[in-house]
């Protein structure tokens, strides 16, 4: 049985999604495959870790991840005020005590984490550049990628340790960065 908070989250996405530009029309039409993919982000993250979700937008993957893994402390980082306001509303409405919303440029975020999620944000190298100031090494970046994911991993000089096909040519890729890169 699905967690009722996932159903409530879908209701919130549908209610505010188009007005606040929270997700693509395709996601708003049929959000369940995207929620299932978001839940896969939990697989490479050990119990009790802190996670930074970069460019949280409408809350994918951060909110489903927080619902599925209450042991994680998740920060949803979103620079756009309207989207951050939606995230605050969703966190409150869903009773997610393990989630904080950071409304600002992630490059100015002052926390430290070893796990970073980023869905539809940028290449692994670009995500790493904007979060390396917050890195606790070894750092793990987790993102949904297309068939060219291996080139992104190689360009960063990192090691992919978790790859899961999500269907439609997409993969969930987790890579480990052992020490700071320049």
Distance CA 166, CA 182 (A): 31
The answer to whether the beta carbons of residues 40 and 172 sit under 8 Å apart is yes
55 is in an annotated binding site: yes
58 is in an annotated binding site: no
> C-alpha distances in angstroms, 174 versus 24, 46, 150?
24, 13, 11
**How many CB atoms neighbour CB 161 within 10 A?**
11
H or E stretch at 17: none
- Which tokens is 47 given? 């119990």
18 is in an annotated binding site: no
Q: Which residues are annotated as a binding site?
A: 55, 60, 119
Q: Which residues are annotated as a binding site for S-adenosyl-L-methionine?
A: 55, 60, 119
């Amino acid at each position: 049985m699905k967690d009722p908070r996932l159903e409530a989250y879908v209701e919130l996405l549908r209610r505010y999604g188009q007005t606040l530009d929270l997700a693509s029309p395709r996601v708003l039409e049929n959000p369940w495959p995207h929620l299932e993919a978001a839940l896969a982000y939990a697989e490479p993250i050990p119990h009790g870790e802190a996670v930074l979700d970069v460019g949280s937008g409408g809350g994918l993957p951060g909110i489903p991840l927080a619902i599925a893994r209450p042991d994680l402390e998740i920060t949803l980082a979103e620079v756009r005020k309207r989207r951050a306001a939606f995230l605050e509303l969703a966190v409150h409405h869903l009773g997610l005590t393990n989630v904080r919303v950071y409304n600002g440029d992630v490059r100015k975020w002052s926390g430290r984490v070893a796990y970073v999620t980023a869905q539809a944000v940028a290449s692994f190298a670009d995500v790493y550049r904007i979060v390396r100031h917050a890195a606790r090494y070894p750092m793990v970046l987790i993102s949904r990628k297309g068939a060219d994911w291996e080139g992104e991993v190689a360009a960063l000089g990192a090691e992919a340790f978790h790859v899961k096909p999500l269907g439609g040519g997409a993969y969930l890729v987790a890579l480990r960065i052992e020490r700071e890169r320049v």
